[in-house]
Structure 1
Amino acid sequence: MTKVVAIDIGHGSNTFPPSKGVYKNGKEYAEHDFNSKVGVELNKLLKHNGFKTIMKQKPFSPDVGLTTRTNYYNAKGVDLVWSIHANANGNKNVGGRCAFYWHTAKDSKKLAELYVDECKKAGYDVHGNGLHASKPNNWTDLHICRETAMTAVLTENGFMTNDEPGKNDDFELIFGSKQKQYVKDMARVHAKAICRYYGVKFKDLDGTTVADKPSKPSKPASKSISKMAQEVIAGKHGNGHDERRKSLGISQGEYDKVRKEVNRRSGIKTASKPKGKTVAQMAQEVIDGKHGNGHANRRKSLGVSSSVYNKVKKEVNRRLTGKSAVYSKPKSFSVGQKVTVKKSASKFATGESIASFVKGNSYTVKQVKSDRVLLDGIMSWVRKKDVY
């Protein structure tokens, strides 16, 4: 019986701005445009190889909600859902491709492994080991993986924010001069993985047959603890333990080993707060924005217990207000006002990560709400506490 594949094109033509895309030199680059181009090519290849396809999210069209998509796929009883995306990160050094699968779905994991294997065969790097198990109540808890009743994989085909000309440069592949070839390459990667999963000999559009056996792919080669520790020291995986672990694409247990090796090379015994820091010193660092936003993030960044952090918080409040109270109310902003995004800002009000090139730059306020402002130039909502 002919297999039915749902090609799930990430996002829609109306999701950027404000998010799901990047800006470069004043120009907008929408993730959905790239996802659509790959989806169109994949559709041709799958039909050419004997599959039936459906697209609930049409290419270059307004966004269809995730619940509507998964309800449709489940009602249609498709055999497989293949979701196409491009990634983003606040650290421009982070790049590579990866696939998400529901953590208990062995069939989806197998398909994700085939995708990683085909990426490597095509000569493209993967992010970490390229595999992410999607789990409940976790940053990996993705709707497409969780709510589909069949084999499903969500692919991230490079980082839109990875922009290092002459080095790693996913941006150039996704949106730049290499896009045309990259779109074709990734569509082939996707189609080959699906063909291998079903034991079908892949035929390219020019009639070339690739006799890939549907055998289990070799386990993606993982980096050594020593190699990952060196990359962390070199700053290739950002700041903060959570960000570094996600960037490396490894488990908490593996990351603990990496952190231990980093500490050994740096000559420190533990990853706790720097020895000898007083409550006053830590409070001043918090005021200076060195430990991000939010109490949970600040406490983790400082590496202190809740009781010690409460003392730090009390001292911060005392310095800012002259008494132990909550932080002062957000500043007043008005339309037309020029503001600058703090370098310590991490996320837009919508929850998306703020790219490094946005931080430290000035923008004009277009709209004002109770706790956020809409900034011209990036057309994104930023919380008042993250601008000045």
Structure 2
Amino acid sequence: MVKVALDAGHGMNTPGKRTPDGEREWSFNSKVVTAATKYLNEYDNVTVIRLDDPTGKTDISLTKRTNKANSESADILISYHHNANTGQWGTWTGTETYHYPGSSSGYALASKIHPAIVGAMVLRDRGIKSENFHMLRESKMPAILIEGGFMDSTIDIVKLRDSNVLDRAGRALADALAAHFGLKKKSKSKVESTSGVHVVKKGDTLWGISQKYNTTVAVLKSLNKISGDLIVPGQKLKLPSNSKKAATKPSLKVNAKVKVKKSAKKYATGENIPNWVKGKKYTIQQIKADRVLLKEIMSWVYKKDVE
């Protein structure tokens, strides 16, 4: 199992880490890391260790971040940032990646990842550099720090404000890591729902997830040690061992084939449904709010009574 430590630099309220208009660097960093986590989940045999606070409320100390990566034996560490020059708007631009001075493994990792990020951001390639940063120095595994673009650049800010671009950077990071480690894509069914785990997507709520897996919000909170209602994209939630994904309702459209349930009792017009009609397939000829007209028997049946 490959362990990838991902770090969205700083926190939401870290002093000074803002665009000239007040936008938070962490919010840009987190969008890329969250997307990378989502896309890495499409691969087998990889797990993500997130080092920052995924809510952004706390700026976790650098020491705690590297200690976590080291104690959990991460195979690599990637700290994702966005740059600043003077703090005032200017036309400087570009993407650059750092490794620790003299680290051949750090340079090798940067050489695999940096071109992918440059390709996703479509900004000037400022190259691969070395620097004595804490995240690179104190980590026991190959580590790199990426500066995706300049927050105080009138050129780069256009990309940073585009969620599609940051999502693309996250995908590029995930795919480059997969190529680096030789990871294979999961089957479609595994991606949709890893056994016993739900990966939170944008728009998910605890209530919606509980309904999807026929469980309760209280059970999800207890199992995952959640005190409030906040969940974030990319977060992995454990599911109760007996949970099953709720059955998907049939697609009801004209000319589709449906079967009348054996439990069906009355037509939508009020008459009893004879037993010989039940359990057989029919063609939908018309659709109304709560009923469908079945062509072969020319009768209206409630939608809830077909499958």
Short-chain TM bin = 0.5 to 0.7
Going from structure 1 to structure 2, the CA distance change for 1:34 and 1:123 (only over 3 Å counts) comes to closer
Match of 1:8 in 2: 7
Match of 1:80 in 2: 76
Match of 2:49 in 1: 54
Match of 1:29 in 2: 23
Distance 2:3 2:138 in 1: 18
Distance 1:172 1:202 in 2: 32
Distance 2:119 2:186 in 1: 16
Distance 1:133 1:113 in 2: 12
Distance 1:206 1:14 in 2: 39
Distance 2:157 2:38 in 1: 25
Query: Which structure has the larger Rg over C-alpha atoms?
Result: 2
Match of 1:133 in 2: 130
Distance 1:124 1:11 in 2: 24
What per-residue deviation string (whole Å, max 9, x for no partner) do you get for residues 333-364 of structure 1? xxxxxxxxxxxxxxxxxxxxxxxxxxxxxxxx
Contact 2:81 2:147 in 1 (8 A): yes
Distance 2:78 2:130 in 1: 16
1:112 aligned to which of 90, 110, 113:
110
Going from structure 1 to structure 2, the CA distance change for 1:120 and 1:70 (only over 3 Å counts) comes to closer
What is the CA distance between 1:131 and its match in structure 2? 0.4
> Which amino acid is the alignment partner of residue 148 of structure 1?
S
Distance 1:22 1:122 in 2: 21
Match of 2:167 in 1: 184
Structure 2: runs of 5 or more not aligned: 191-307
Distance 2:189 2:117 in 1: 21
What per-residue deviation string (whole Å, max 9, x for no partner) do you get for residues 156-188 of structure 1? 11111111xxxxx1101112xxx1111111101
> Which amino acid is the alignment partner of residue 36 of structure 1?
S
For the residue of structure 2 that corresponds to 1:14, the secondary structure is coil
Distance 2:107 2:38 in 1: 25
For the residue of structure 2 that corresponds to 1:132, the secondary structure is strand
> Which amino acid is the alignment partner of residue 194 of structure 1?
L
Contact 2:90 2:152 in 1 (8 A): yes
> Which amino acid is the alignment partner of residue 5 of structure 2?
A
What is the CA distance between 1:144 and its match in structure 2? 0.5
1:211-360 alignment, distance < 5 Å = none
> Which amino acid is the alignment partner of residue 171 of structure 1?
I
What is the CA distance between 1:39 and its match in structure 2? 1.3
Contact 1:45 1:204 in 2 (8 A): no
What is the CA distance between 1:32 and its match in structure 2? 0.5
Match of 1:296 in 2: none
For the residue of structure 1 that corresponds to 2:34, the secondary structure is helix
What per-residue deviation string (whole Å, max 9, x for no partner) do you get for residues 295-347 of structure 1? xxxxxxxxxxxxxxxxxxxxxxxxxxxxxxxxxxxxxxxxxxxxxxxxxxxxx
1:144 aligned to which of 126, 132, 135:
135
What is the CA distance between 1:40 and its match in structure 2? 1.1
> Which amino acid is the alignment partner of residue 183 of structure 1?
L
Match of 1:101 in 2: 99
| Higher RCO structure (Cα 8 Å, ≥6 apart) | 2
Distance 2:2 2:113 in 1: 18
Distance 1:105 1:22 in 2: 32
Distance 1:206 1:159 in 2: 39
Q: CA RMSD in A?
A: 2.5
Q: Identity of aligned pairs, percent?
A: 30
What is the CA distance between 1:109 and its match in structure 2? 0.9
What is the CA distance between 1:48 and its match in structure 2? 1.6
Q: TM-score, normalised by structure 1?
A: 0.45
Distance 1:155 1:65 in 2: 18
2:180 aligned to which of 197, 200, 220:
197
Going from structure 1 to structure 2, the CA distance change for 1:6 and 1:47 (only over 3 Å counts) comes to same
Normalized per residue, which structure has more helix?
1
Contact 1:74 1:149 in 2 (8 A): yes
How many pairs does the alignment contain?
187
What is the CA distance between 1:64 and its match in structure 2? 0.2
